[in-house]
A = this chain, B = another copy of it.
Amino acid sequence: MTTQTAEKKREKVPMNGVDTPTLFATINAVKEQPELAKAQFRASSRWVAGTHSRSKVESFTAAGGTHTHEGDYAFDADHPKVLTGTGKGATPVEFLLHGLAGCLTAGIANIAAARGVTLTEVSSTLEGDMDLRGILGLSNEVRNGYSGITVTFDIKGDAPAEKLRQIVEQSRARSAVFDVLANGTAIDVRVNA
């Protein structure tokens, strides 16, 4: 049996809660029909009071159509009281950390399944450092956002440490959120006033 055949055989087995056959069928469908890859994700947000706002995430476009999320997703965001907010939600910058964790972790599960590795634990801590003089308008020497983010994964599974590290690295290399947070993207802010 060649390595390639072994890979193909492994691809057909659901693993880590990942429906691996469907994952590969999806990849092949998009390969055949690249227009299926066109996606748009959306949120709508409304100011509540002070620094408190609430977003809804309802529908997205992907795989050739617009789909409504099954869950009812609404999220509050606020500044904490110690930073002169009203403390009615996690801070906006913390949601970036959550998004990064979610994207890297999903990729790890998918890639491990594709490589025939059963995972038993994936946990992570994320730390983002910031000098608040930026957002407070007190300095033009420091940036407004995170000066840096550190993500530390603990990962366990039925593969050698080196293979587990490679899975994390491959997830990083294909992560949508990592890409945006590491490299930035064009943001167009429009105003109807």
Chain A residues at the B interface, C-beta cutoff of 8 Å = 16-19, 22-23, 26-27, 30-31, 34, 36-53, 55, 57, 60, 62-63, 67, 69-71, 73, 75, 77-110, 119, 121-138, 142-156, 161-162, 164-165, 168-169, 172, 174-193
Taking a contact as CB atoms under 8 Å apart, the answer to whether B184 and A184 are in contact is yes
Could you give 25 example pairs across A and B, Cβ below 8 Å? A16-B49, A17-B86, A26-B136, A37-B136, A40-B129, A41-B93, A41-B97, A43-B97, A45-B102, A45-B105, A47-B119, A50-B106, A63-B82, A77-B98, A77-B102, A79-B106, A93-B103, A95-B96, A135-B176, A143-B183, A145-B178, A150-B190, A172-B189, A178-B187, A184-B184
